[in-house]
Amino acid sequence: MASFKREVEIMSRIRFPNVCLLLGACTDPDYFCIVQEYLPGGDLASLLEKGRLSSSFYGRMRLASQVARGLLWIHSNGVLHRDLKLENLLLDTHGEVKVCDFGLADNTGGMKFIWDEKGRKGSPLYMAPEVLQKKALNNKVDVYSFGLILWEVLSGKRAFQEHLKHNDLAIFTSAICEKMERPAIPPEKGSKEEGWNNVYVTNLIKRCWSDKPKDRPDFQEIYDELNVLITEGYIKDDWGRTFWLINFPDQDSVPWEEFIKILMCKKTVPLDDGTTFNKGLSMSKKDPDNSKKALCLKLLLAQISGQKNSTFSRVTCENFGKVLAWFGPGIDNDPKSQHKNFLERVAYIARQPWFFGSIDKPDLLLHDGNKPVYMIRLSNEPGYFTIHTTKMKTRIIYTPGVGYKPEGDKEVFPDLVVFAKSKLQAYDAQTGSDYAAIFGEIAQANTGLGAYLAYNFLQNAQDDDPSKSKKH
């Protein structure tokens, strides 16, 4: 009964997005139970076993970052989880990780160290050396377990499986505490997995499972390092990466309204090297043309995320990085460039009648007339565009600062408009794009969409000049 009450008490005061939510508890002697939120995504152990974890390195690091964020909150409330393992990490409907099962959790009571008075607590394969040796312990025991989880998530394997054969805790304790046995990095010789070639990741894992608790990082440090690593992985553009880290340092997604407000702002911030950085693109939201550029970006991000423009609400770090791969650089300092930034390049391409962004079943939209028609859309791979006709498909790779190069061709074009005029003269452009509708450049039934969205954006935008803001 005491342990049940302790678990309920702990869960009731650590409400957080990356911690399983307590809904209630029943104390009837015949029906002891804890009611928690339903998490249909399953646990990471099952997903790993079925090969259903994210296939990308940065996707897996995002999962690890969410675990670290949850543990950072748990530790800040004076609680040690004590049973951190893949089985106790569950996913919700949005793929967010929730730390679960606080049956073995401890309250530190403000003490720097605690002791296991009734024997070791936790799952043996994830126990830190000081737990196995029944020594004084602190929150670094969870950090040790996290190091093993990070290795498992990255490798797609379970740690220490060979020790399950003998099932002897004394032998395992000797291997971990005396022989300093840890999972191999990389798990297989010659592994080309991106993570094992990333010295920041491998060093972080080694620091987490250090035999000395004082040498292990805390979860604030772990979370910060993973956040920078993920941002650098998703956003290859230098300006874009700095923009995200400065404006949204602890977030992998932000509301669209917040994102576009900062993107358009004129504020600057000082950097550690003594220079300053423009937080945004310094573009007035009162300019109708700029509002249309913003609407193009929102439609583009909605399509990339697989959502309807009307319901799209959040910008992810990953999708922002994809946009920059297609339309970067974020800021173009080349005096010969006709576009000052990526948003201008988005609008320049989007206003072309043949551009359809990222769409499903493009073949259904192509209808030949007197001449065959074509459209240009985003390929599944960031940085690639697909030229799509009723007869064929081919790709063009875009390299920021260089230009557009058709696959199998040596010629590089300065922009897609030049390419279309040069190579697609035998075709007519397929019309009906929602992007062109935003600019009101085609007489289609859906052109009202662009006018309505532009008007709505202007009505809701607040000017950067506070002297012109309305008083309520």
On whether both 165 and 312 belong to a single domain, the answer is no
Residue 342 buriedness (CB in 10 A; 0-12 / 13-18 / 19+): buried
What's the alpha-carbon Rg for the chain, to the nearest Å? 27
Instruction: State the Cα–Cα distance between residues 125 and 113, nearest whole angstrom.
Output: 22
- pLDDT greater than 60 at residue 416: yes
Mean pLDDT of 230-239: 92
Question: Over 70: is that where the pLDDT of 202 sits?
Answer: yes
Among 212, 232, 252, the domain-final residue is: 232
N-terminal to C-terminal alpha carbon distance within the chain: 55
pLDDT by residue (tens digit) across 24-72?
999 888 888 999 999 999 999 999 999 999 888 888 999 999 999 999 9
Final residue before a domain boundary, out of 184, 202, 232: 232
342, 216: one domain? no
The SS3 call for residue 353 is coil
Q: Do both 367 and 318 map to the same domain?
A: yes
Domain end, chosen from 232, 253, 270, is at 232
Closest CA to 339 of 423, 400, 294: 400
For residue 104, give the nearest of 91, 125, 86, 119 by alpha carbon: 119
Alpha helices in 235-364 (DSSP H): 238-247, 256-264, 288-304, 317-327, 342-350
Catalytic sites, residue numbers: 83
Q: State whether 271 and 156 are in the same domain.
A: no
Instruction: Grade residue 136 by pLDDT with cuts at 50, 70 and 90.
Output: very high
Shared domain check, 268 and 181: no
Q: Distance between CA atoms of 197 and 189, rounded to whole angstroms? A: 12
Domain containing residue 282:
238-459
- Structural domains of the chain, count: 2
Average pLDDT, the chain: 89
Which residue type does 285 have? Answer: K
14-23 tens-digit pLDDT: 999 999 999 9
User: In CATH, what number is assigned to the domain containing residue 290?
Assistant: 3.30.505.10
Predicted structure pTM score: 0.77
Give alpha helix (H) positions in 104-237. 129-132, 140-155, 169-177, 199-208, 219-234
Per-residue pLDDT at 180 = 97
Which residues, 6 or more positions from 369, have their beta carbon under 8 angstroms from its beta carbon?
Answer: 428
- Whether the predicted pLDDT of 472 surpasses 70: no
